[in-house]
Structure 1
Amino acid sequence: MTAGESAFPIGYFFIISKLNNLVIDVENPTEAGPGARIIMKERQAKSPERDSQLWIHQNGFLTNKMTGLVLDINRSPSFMAIFNGENHLYLDQMKEEDTAHDQRFAFEEETGFIYSLHNENIVFDIRKAEVAEGGRVIVYKRKGISEDSSKKPLHQYWSVELGDPPKIDEDDEEEDESKRARLRSWFGNWSGWDKRKNGMLVEHDLEEAHEKVYTEKKASLSHELLAGAAAFAAVHAWEKRQEEAGEEVHHSMTKKLLASLAAAEMVKLYEERGIEEEDDDEEKKIEKKNILQRMSASAAQNLFEAKHGRV
């Protein structure tokens, strides 16, 4: 089975264990970066809090919505784990495809195995078949399929379920599933889409988001749309400033500046539009604001790379 034939759906989805009905999540998601551990947690009901539990499958890569990083296989440091052939899953930057053999996976819906495209006998597993929250997600040798329910390796069986679709403008004929998927992909590793139907978002799409938020001032919009609008506003403001000053583009410095500008713009939108829920306590409000800032910063950096090239 190739990446294109995998049973993963298009769009963001939860990965659910058939052992304990918990979902794959990132440890300490608001602080997570490359090297963050992957664990099992109770499923969250709302975005953006649940975004660390949502994944999108692109050309074999499983990208985390909140962080924009992909799942990678890392050899466990313990002697027993090395002896047993146990490897952990963690987050990392997306590698070039020819060196990404530890980052590309596929899903067998019929059996429930999620396996490495490099070696289909290596599958997602839960360390020590831990039932409680916090269990480590690892990869391990595929167990045999048993008809005896008591012998089924449920710790290696998974299901996937699409997250709720974001709010869209029902009166806008241009809104569709493919655009929604492309918009969401800007908050992770957006490259890798090889067809326009499910391809990378272009500048015009973010410009439309900006139009709906800043000009039309539509009331009911998804978090992705708001963050995308803030990102477009930040990049547009920076480009105007550069043009007026006649300065050259310096990629590393510019990306950091754009991230700050987009995050600040997102805070302004957050405060103007009252995005928090009525039952959000102060800690929840701060967490939600931080997540949205990271989303807009990521989108701004991706837009910059699309227009001016990568470092």
Structure 2
Amino acid sequence: MSSNFPQGYFYIKSRQNGFVLDVFDGGMSNDTQIIVYPQKYNDASNQLWSYDDGFLNQKWGYHDGFIHVLADPRLVLDIRGGISKEGSQIILYERKHQNNANQQWVVEPFGNAGGQYAHLSHEIIAGAAAFEAVRAYARHQQNEGKPIAHPHAKEAIAAIASAELLEQHNWGGDKEQAKKAAEQAAQNYYTREYEGFPSVQ
């Protein structure tokens, strides 16, 4: 079943108010809230999304403006209570056939595609790569049944961030500068989210 999401990173923008989906405070724990918030063009890594095949209950589809669970297309992303203000929570709710503006979304490719990656700052590119690196590392460790905190975790995450950044072929900025920024940002994300976890020696 097709997801209809674009490749690469994108914003998810509400048709009701023009706000975008935002990971509250850049959190990375499983219970972090998703909210709507004004779109950011700098330091926007907590508003950028990508589609990866995952478990069935974590797969999403995009059709007719609705973002729905592939396992049950009746359940869609919904701005809780239809409240049109920044910080409103996002929930799963049964699809409404009328008065459904709070369930309607526009997927906007990061940089609006068309070669505009070249005009984005290295901080944005680095932040997106860093966020993806920490997420990929944590997912790998969990799948392997290993602790997230590890003496060599920062080095591993920095390497993943570098590789992720080099995949941004459409971006024409200073990749060496962005690579260093991505490595540092990834290590900072890791420190903030996981350094308090138990580690193995």
- TM bracket (short chain): 0.5 to 0.7
C-alpha displacement at 1:28, in angstroms? Answer: 1.5
Residue in 2 that maps onto 1:257: 151
C-alpha displacement at 1:291, in angstroms? Answer: 3.5
Residue in 2 that maps onto 1:157: 104
1:37 to 33, 37, 41: 33
Residue in 1 that maps onto 2:87: 134
C-alpha displacement at 1:183, in angstroms? Answer: 10
Describe the superposition over 1:52-74 as per-residue Cα deviations: whole angstroms up to 9, x where unpaired.
10111112x5xxxxxxxxxxxxx
Confirm whether residue 105 of structure 1 aligns to residue 60 of structure 2: yes
C-alpha displacement at 1:186, in angstroms? Answer: 4.6
Q: Distance in 2 between matches of 1:130 and 1:158?
A: 15
Residue in 1 that maps onto 2:14: 17
Instruction: Report how many residues are paired.
Output: 154
Q: Distance in 2 between matches of 1:28 and 1:296?
A: 15
C-alpha displacement at 1:135, in angstroms? Answer: 0.2
- Report if the CA contact (8 A) 1:127-1:137 is conserved: yes
SS of residue paired to 2:73:
coil
Q: Distance in 2 between matches of 1:289 and 1:128?
A: 40
- 1:54 maps to amino acid: L
C-alpha displacement at 1:133, in angstroms? Answer: 0.4
Q: Distance in 2 between matches of 1:159 and 1:56?
A: 14
Residue in 2 that maps onto 1:69: none
Structure 1 residues 289, 10: closer, same or farther in 2, change over 3 A?
Answer: closer
C-alpha displacement at 1:104, in angstroms? Answer: 1.6
SS of residue paired to 2:4:
coil
Q: Where do 1:153-192 residues align within 5 Å? A: 153-164=100-111, 166-167=117-118, 186=133, 188-189=135-136
Q: Which has the higher contact order (CA 8 A, sep 6+)?
A: 2
Which structure 1 residue ranges, 5 or more long, are not aligned?
62-96, 147-151, 169-181, 191-250, 267-272, 276-284, 298-311
- Report if the CA contact (8 A) 2:157-2:183 is conserved: no
Q: Distance in 2 between matches of 1:274 and 1:56?
A: 24
Q: Distance in 2 between matches of 1:185 and 1:158?
A: 23
SS of residue paired to 2:72:
coil
Query: RMSD of the alignment, in Å?
Result: 3.8
Confirm whether residue 143 of structure 1 aligns to residue 143 of structure 2: no
1:119 to 63, 67, 72: 72
- Report if the CA contact (8 A) 2:133-2:157 is conserved: no
Q: Distance in 1 between matches of 2:95 and 2:152?
A: 44
Residue in 1 that maps onto 2:45: 51
SS of residue paired to 1:52:
helix
SS of residue paired to 1:121:
strand
Q: Distance in 2 between matches of 1:9 and 1:42?
A: 22
Q: Distance in 1 between matches of 2:20 and 2:132?
A: 21
- 1:126 maps to amino acid: I
Structure possessing the higher radius of gyration over alpha carbons: 1
C-alpha displacement at 1:260, in angstroms? Answer: 3.2
- Report if the CA contact (8 A) 1:262-1:293 is conserved: no
